[in-house]
Structure 1
Amino acid sequence: MSANPNQIILLTYKICRFQGVYYSYMTGNEYQKSAMRTCRSPNLNHAVFGLCSEAGEVSGIMQKVFQGHKFDKNHIVKELGDCLWMIAEACSALDVTFEEVMDQNIEKLKKRYPDGFEEEKSLFRDKNDI
């Protein structure tokens, strides 16, 4: 009997208990794998331009708040999810995992700000520190 790919992905969810409440979660790599089910062929250009577009939608939601509209948390969460999807596509196009990118970013921040963020270190950062 062959398994449905969607069932396999659902089995990767983790369950944890915190203060009597159960939460399900997935790793970054599990998210990437699940998200890429809906991607025909990962394309870096599509991912980068798509990320800009989705980030613009997040920005648009916040612009509405400045114009007096009510903050719509559910809408912004959905758009942030679209941003994540585009990042997952970019990672896949580059043949790196979501978690590799996450780990490299944290390592960079630990080097740059070993004791936490400091404005002084930000202002006078080495020009080669990308």
Structure 2
Amino acid sequence: MDLREYQRRAQETDRNPSNAEEGLIVPLLGLAGEVGTLLSDYKKKLRDRDTYRLFKENVAEELGDILWYVANVATKFGLELDEIARLNLKKTRERFLREDTSECTSPYSFFDDGFPAEEQLPRQFSVEFTQQMQGKTATVFLKWEGHIIGNRLTDNAYADDGYRFHDVFHLSYAAFLGWSPVMRKLMDRKRRSQPKVDEVEDGGRSAVIEEGISAYVFSYAVDHDFLQNSRALDDELLRTIKKLTTNLEVRERSPAQWEQAILMGYRVWRNMRTHEGGRVHVDMLKRTLTYSTCNR
């Protein structure tokens, strides 16, 4: 039986078909009650162990009742259960279904496919981070293909928190998402052949959004040991990033892809901070970001 048919037939047994307050509160309370009963059954299972022989049957019954109330609430709000299920699967797959990048050959279409080669982010490249002291202040500069790119960076903070190495995060976005307006500007790979794309996707506003995401995630990471032992990120963090990028091409990337980009970026950043410099190797084709010391 499909969900559409189930929803229609479940509605035939509704004793309070009105969409008024009473008709809505009954299934909502019923839903809460059935969930409570399911929890109670699980408590009995924990208490009685194998002697509680009807556990599986009771779970099936309670889940059926929960499904009936869900269908009833959906109907009274003018929603289709099959569409709810479809959207939920889409959301959960985008959030939790990580891709295996170990064997990626063509992970997705790049945003700059079809543009002249000089306007594409290099598919494989390395950037060297060098730290030097200017008085008591640590500064970092980046070198790509033997040339210094961008400005010298400090932490711009009272505390030594290592944010001077934050360009690692932009490289991670490039590696895992195929996106980084900041790196496009630093590497002079802006898509000038299409002025509107250059303005919207590679311009100042998109770069500010990327820098904002980097700073926002960093403030979260500070409170979570710089993601040292993190295998997942807070849903609210990822939802905020998706909202910030709603009007940009990177909206096509899923929360799970953002999560991978951030976690790997911080893995490399922690190495960079520990060794006070090093090289970051980007492979957009295999979707990898790796670290090595400068003497390798």
1:35 matches 2:10 = yes
Distance 1:111 1:44 in 2: 31
Distance 1:124 1:97 in 2: 29
Q: Which amino acid aligns with 1:111?
A: E
Q: Which amino acid aligns with 1:34?
A: R
Q: Which has the higher contact order (CA 8 A, sep 6+)?
A: 1
Distance 2:53 2:90 in 1: 34
Partner of 1:67: 47
Distance 2:46 2:81 in 1: 33
- From 79, 100, 104, give the equivalent of 2:87: 104
Distance 2:93 2:31 in 1: 26
CA apart distance, 1:75: 1.7
Distance 1:66 1:105 in 2: 30
Count of residue correspondences: 102
Output aligned runs, 1:50-65, within 5 Å. 50-65=30-45
Distance 1:112 1:71 in 2: 37
Aligned CA distance change for structure 1 residues 114 and 74 (closer, same or farther; 3 Å): closer
Q: Structure 1: which 5+ runs fail to align? A: 1-25
Q: Structure 2: which 5+ runs fail to align? A: 100-229, 241-296
Provide, for residues 16-56 of structure 1, a one-character-per-residue CA deviation record: whole Å limited to 9, x for no partner: xxxxxxxxxx0011111111110141533222211110011
Aligned CA distance change for structure 1 residues 128 and 38 (closer, same or farther; 3 Å): farther
Which one has a larger percent strand, Structure 1 or Structure 2? 2
Partner of 1:67: helix, strand, or coil?
helix
Output aligned runs, 1:1-130, within 5 Å. 26-39=1-14, 40-41=16-17, 43-68=23-48, 69-72=51-54, 73-115=56-98, 120-121=231-232, 123-127=233-237, 129=239
CA apart distance, 1:129: 3.3
TM, length-normalised to structure 2 = 0.32
Partner of 2:39: helix, strand, or coil?
helix
Aligned CA distance change for structure 1 residues 71 and 52 (closer, same or farther; 3 Å): farther
Contact kept in structure 2, 1:62 and 1:71, CA below 8 Å: no
CA apart distance, 1:128: 7.1
Over the aligned positions, Cα root-mean-square deviation in angstroms equals 2.2
CA apart distance, 1:89: 0.6
Contact kept in structure 2, 1:54 and 1:83, CA below 8 Å: yes
CA apart distance, 1:125: 2.4
Larger mean CA deviation between 27-36 and 106-115 belongs to 106-115
Partner of 1:129: helix, strand, or coil?
helix
Taking only the aligned residue pairs, the percentage that are identical comes to 25
TM, length-normalised to structure 1 = 0.68
Distance 1:67 1:124 in 2: 33
**Structure 1 runs (4+) greater than 6 angstroms displaced:** none
